[in-house]
């Protein structure tokens, strides 16, 4: 099992460009999440999908959109990148969406917006 995979590993964008971060899991999990990690701020939830066909905003959704393409895949799109979106992005998944669920994280995508 690969677990949670993310592509690309690293990306440089210019302000105003768009891109989609891809995430896939092979654990047959129902719930998936997108976080951003910034120094001194821990991880903050951008969007999540409790189950296939549903998506909801997290703590910092502005400037992002998501698509739960199927049970395996959950993508994050930046329509018009801004320097403030320079960050490390993590995708995670969990079997269910209960409060005790363990989340499994991908290796991250490092994004630099110039």
Partner 1 sequence: AQSVTQLGSHVSVSEGALVLLRCNYSSSVPPYLFWYVQYPNQGLQLLLKYTSAATLVKGINGFEAEFKKSETSFHLTKPSAHMSDAAEYFCAVSDLGSGNTGKLIFGQGTTLQVKP
Window 67-96: contact mask with partner 1 (x via CB under 8 A): -----------------------x-x-x-x
Least CB distance from residue 47 to partner 1, whole Å? 11
Per CB under 8 A, the list member of 44, 77, 84, 114 interacting with partner 1 is 44
Q: Using the rule CB under 8 A, is 48 a contact of partner 1?
A: yes
Say how far apart CA 19 and CA 80 lie, in whole Å.
8
Residue 2 is a binding residue for partner 1 (CB under 8 A):
no
CB of 30 to partner 1, least distance (A): 10
Of 37 and 86, which CB lies nearer to partner 1 in the complex structure? 37
CA distances from 70 to 4, 32, 62, 63, 99 (A): 14, 11, 23, 23, 23
In the complex, the residues that contact partner 1 under the rule CB under 8 A are: 4, 31, 33, 40-45, 48, 50, 56, 58, 90, 92, 94, 96-108
């Amino acid at each position: 099992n690969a677990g949670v995979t993310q592509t690309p590993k690293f990306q440089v964008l210019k302000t105003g460009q768009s891109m989609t971060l891809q995430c896939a899991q092979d654990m047959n999990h129902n719930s998936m999440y997108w976080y951003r990690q910034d120094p001194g701020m821990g991880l903050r939830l951008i969007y999540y999908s409790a189950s296939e066909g549903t998506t909801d905003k997290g703590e910092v959704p502005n400037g992002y959109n998501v698509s739960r393409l199927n049970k395996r895949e959950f993508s994050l799109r930046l329509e018009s990148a801004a320097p403030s979106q320079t960050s490390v992005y993590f995708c995670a998944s969990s079997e269910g969406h209960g409060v005790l669920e363990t989340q499994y994280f991908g290796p991250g995508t490092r994004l630099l917006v110039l």
